Amino acid sequence: LTLVFIGDGAPAGNYGYTNSGYSVYEEENERLTESLRTKVSAIKSLSIEIGTEVKNQNKMLSEMDDDFDSTGGLLGATMGRLRTLSRGSQTKLLCYMMLFALFVFFVIYWIIKLR
């Protein structure tokens, strides 16, 4: 069994051929390595941009959550006032609504009559 290594142990006649073949593979590896480096760099910059965007979106969502909480508190207070109003005299509320409806009816009638 004889082992032949490319380069040092090769016969003199084949030395140039094996060396140029090795060089072609080495150049191909270098080209592929550089291509991989470029792709990794692009992915890295893209992931950094995604991280920045996620931080901005989380900040915006937090601000929206605070706004919704304050709006919910305001709406809750308004609903409490409406409940207090509705617990009062129903006849009084019904009377006010009827007077308002009659007022709107007479205003609309008066506008139509003037035309």
Residues 11-55 have pLDDT tens digits of 444 444 455 667 888 999 999 999 999 999 999 999 999 999 999
Instruction: Tell whether the model's pLDDT for residue 3 goes beyond 50.
Output: no
Tell me which residue of 34, 14, 12 sits closest to 22, measured CA to CA.
14
Indicate the pTM of the whole model: 0.46
Helix H or strand E encompassing 47: helix 12-87
Per-residue pLDDT, 94: 79
Q: Burial letters for 37-59: b for 16+ Cβ neighbours within 10 Å, e otherwise?
A: eeeeeeeeeeeeeeeeeeeeeee
Instruction: Tell whether the model's pLDDT for residue 10 goes beyond 90.
Output: no
CA angle 8, 14, 20 (to 5 degrees): 80
Per-residue pLDDT, 20: 61
Residues 94-110 have pLDDT tens digits of 788 889 999 999 999 99
